[in-house]
Copies of this chain bind each other. A is one copy, B any other.
Amino acid sequence: MSNSKGFVLWMTGLSGAGKSTLTEALAPVLRERGCRVEVLDGDVVRTNLSRGLSFSKEDRDTNILRIGFVANLLARNGVAVLTAAISPYRGPRDATRRLVEGDGSRFIETHVSASLAECEARDVKGLYAEARAGKRSNFTGIDDPYEAPIAPEIVVPTGGETLDESLSRILSYLESEGLIGAGLPSRASAGIAVLAGNHD
């Protein structure tokens, strides 16, 4: 078993900003550094914990609080938890921070920041087109608000840097806070290189 300290790296940002891409690329690098890692992706959580919830504000808040509850259980047992849900509202993000910090783990709010124009231009899943066509309501950035973090631990401007640069930014933060050890440069960069073509 790993001896790393648990933490919650909470990605927040618009659909298409790159949250899932970042977590998928980050997870194997953290495992290589000796962390136990779990990824709580928005879709996985909706299937296993929140089926039946809508995208109303109340149900979105409930969904985020459930992710926070599970993330905290894992983090306080030494797991590095990566979450990748839009989590558009400040209230439940802040409530999760209080829960996690109250149990002695670090909560690292990570704003995966890309402009609406950038995200809509990518539109990997075609969701923005559906929202613009009125086929999808309560869509963050279109007809539902996104409340950006006020003082996030990390800001990742995915529109203006490569995935490699984004990962280095996050890893540097985790290293500087003593949450992970320094990697072996050759292996770490090899691990990143493999995944670098996949930025959404």
Contacts and interface: CB of A to CB of B under 8 A. Distances in A.
Nearest to A45: B69
A77 interface: yes
A77 B38 contact: yes
Interface residues of A, number: 19
A21 interface: no
A30 to B, nearest CB: 13
Contact of A48 (B2, B69, B74): B69
Interface of A: 1-3, 36, 38, 48-49, 51-52, 62, 65-66, 69-70, 73-74, 77-79
- Nearest first, the 6 A-B pairs at minimum CB distance are A48-B69, A1-B78, A77-B79, A36-B77, A1-B3, A70-B70
